[in-house]
Amino acid sequence: MRKMQITSTILNKLSYLIDLVFPSHCPVCVKRSDNHSISPLCSSCWAKIERHNGRGCRICASVTDYDSTGVCQECRAIKPVFDRVITFGIYNGALKQTIHLMKFRRLRRLANVLGKEMSLMDIPNADVIMPVPLSNDGLRGREFNQSAVMAKVVSKETGIPLDISSLKKTKETLPQSMLQKRERIMNVKGAFEVDKDLSGKRVILVDDVITTSATVNECARALKKAGAEMVTVLTAARSKSD
């Protein structure tokens, strides 16, 4: 575990140096970026991002399997604890690469750009913005919570106050990407706590990407237990299938 952390620290430092030396290259296709002042991504990669078109399950934003009432099979079977998911794009192609780069190469500029796009979405009135937290181990290993960076940008752009410390991850979990859907639900069960009274508060919960929505649902459970009246999940990307 420690060896992995050292390796990831070296990789992070290396990619930081590469970015210093080659500041104007698109991090996705590595060609020279043509709109560097607006986005680290070149216009060709940016154009390839598949935006969520607003059609899909009106609760979880899934683009598959939703019926005429606008609710998907999953949400009909078990109603999520969160009220609604708003997502910028679909988790594939250039956006998937962007999110991977942001996570593993700590490309803060990408988180800033995505945060700005997310703040332009149809966000409901809310009292507070909170990011999905990393565990203490995650923070030590990567030292970069991209959801927190995006939440900060959304807060700045919308004026909704930011709270990055009240929602905490209190249990170590396995990476969700390693697990099947049912295991993912069990993996994050009881993993989050809120140490603040949120009675009557409307919360915007920010995450980088959602797949099965098990993590954001468990965060929403902790937020509602603390009194939150509404939890809207705002995410940069949503996977096409559950």
Contacting Zn ion (CB under 5 A), which of 39, 49, 52, 72?
A: 72
86 binds Zn ion (CB under 5 A): no
Q: Which residue has the tokens 């809310």?
A: 126
- Under rule CB under 5 A, residue 113 binds Zn ion: no
Query: Rounded to the nearest whole angstrom, what is the least distance from the CB of residue 214 to Zn ion in the complex?
Result: 13
Q: What angle do CA 97, 111, 7 make, to 5 degrees?
A: 65
Residues in the chain: 242
Q: Which stretch binds Zn ion (CB under 5 A): 19-27, 97-105, 179-187, 200-208?
A: 19-27
User: Using CB under 5 A, which residues numbered 44 to 63 contact Zn ion?
Assistant: 45, 57, 59-60, 62
Identify the residue whose tokens are 């290259």.
25
**Residue 202 in contact with residue 167, Cβ under 8 Å?**
no
Q: Shortest approach of Zn ion to residue 94 CB, angstroms?
A: 7
Site membership for Zn ion, residue 75 (CB under 5 A): yes
Query: Which tokens belong to 29?
Result: 């296709």
Rounded Cα distance between 224 and 231, Å, is 8
DSSP helix/strand/coil, 54: coil
Give 129's DSSP letter. E
Judged by phi (left if over 0) then psi (alpha if -120 to 50, else beta), residue 181 lies in alpha
216 binds Zn ion (CB under 5 A): no
Q: Does 28 bind Zn ion (CB under 5 A)?
A: yes
Rank residues 46 and 128 by Cβ distance to Zn ion and give the closer one: 46
CB of residue 73 vs Zn ion: minimum separation in angstroms?
A: 8
Spatial separation of the C-alpha atoms in residues 168 and 150, rounded to whole Å: 17
Shortest distance in whole angstroms from residue 20 CB to Zn ion = 19
Single out the residue of 9, 12, 19, 29 in contact with Zn ion (rule: CB under 5 A).
29
Residues near Zn ion (CB under 5 A) are 26, 28-29, 42, 45, 57, 59-60, 62, 72, 75
